[in-house]
Amino acid sequence: MFLQPKTRGDIDDASRTGKMMKEEKRKKKKKERRTSFLQSFLPLPIPSTPFSSSLPGLLSLWGLLFLFTLSIPQGWAYIQLGALGVQVHNVKVPQPGVAGRQARLECLWAAGERGFYSVRWYKNDEQFYSYVPKNKPQLSQSDERVVTLRELRLDSEGVYRCEVMSESPYFESSFASSNLTVVAMPDAPTLGGLRSSYRVGEMLNVTCTAYDSRPPARLTFFMNREAVTPESGRVRTLAPREGRYLGVYDTTAVLERPIGRRLVPSLSLVCRAEVLSLSTQVEANVEVHEHSGSAPLFLLNTGSGLSPALPALLLPPLLLTTLTHLLTSS
């Protein structure tokens, strides 16, 4: 009996059959591994109860959870590593920062079980500070959790980001950021046109100016601790003007009102300048005296209309004119 030699097509078929058998064995082993892994998650045997019929549904639920876990292996690993690695929770910055003063930036983070390799700070995505404990840095006001900016400028405002990296070989990183707003605070406002003493009935005309603020300051007058509101019609706020250097403003407000009797014997006048949540003020105390004979009596009434004292003021001249007329006619 003679054997026919195998053709090239027979060899290719045999090769494909061998590959298919190997692939089937590989899938079978993979399925066995998954089944074994799933069994490790299954709950303990449940004793016979009226609810034992729900056990197949429970096993199906565990199976779905298992398949979901296999479908996102990278995300699962990331969650596991995140629990062990560094976590940056928050970045605290002054609210607001003040030009010319220090600013303390604080990074709130936890190293986790893997420790940390470095801490880096960025302003608008540009790195300006790093802390690597292996380098043994010699620092006075900054460390792995706090960075101190010695003197803020108006262009210091921006988004500050803290990024912490865990130790090798993982080098996971976590970060958080916060926006820093920088304002220019004026010195105490200045008062203009204020005298040392007033009499009842005289007009109070005072200006208050806050110089070099950013944004423009909001000015408020207080008379004996009582705010004089713009609705009263007694205060005028002028349009802001450019200050002594770029980006700052001067603001002026004018207070005009008569001096009433209730301000006797003294007036405490305050002008407060507010910039966002910060404020500064100036206070002056002046004497207020009762009316003297040198001023018209009708000015004593600081409300509308003439004072009832006006007829009494006109009576003496009228009597004098009548007496003169009688003497002349006689």
| Per-residue pLDDT tens digits for 249-259 | 999 999 999 99
Q: Is 34 left (phi over 0), alpha (psi -120 to 50) or beta?
A: alpha
The residue ranking higher by pLDDT, 123 or 85, is: 123
CA atoms 29, 33, 35, 36: torsion sign:
positive
- The ranges assigned to domains in the chain are 84-183, 190-300
Q: Please, what CATH class does the domain formed by 190-300 belong to?
A: mainly beta
What confidence tens digit (pLDDT) does each residue in 14-45 have? 666 777 777 777 777 766 766 554 455 444 44
Coil, helix or strand at residue 161: strand
What confidence tens digit (pLDDT) does each residue in 193-220 have? 999 999 999 999 999 999 999 999 999 9
DSSP at 60: H
Q: Is 183 left (phi over 0), alpha (psi -120 to 50) or beta?
A: beta
Q: Are 101 and 185 in contact (CB under 8 A)?
A: no
Task: List the beta strands (DSSP E) in the chain.
Answer: 87-92, 97-98, 103-110, 116-123, 126-131, 146-149, 158-166, 173-180, 182-183, 190-192, 197-199, 203-213, 218-223, 226-228, 235-237, 241-242, 249-258, 266-275, 278-289
Q: Is it true that 84-183 and 190-300 share their CATH fold?
A: yes
Q: Does domain 84-183 have CATH number 2.60.40.10?
A: yes
**Mean pLDDT for the chain overall:** 78
Coil, helix or strand at residue 222: strand
At 288, phi and psi to the nearest 5? -125, 120
State the pairing for strand pair 203-213/218-223. unpaired
Q: Which of 81-90, 157-166, 169-178, 290-299 has the highest mean pLDDT?
A: 157-166
pLDDT at 2: 42
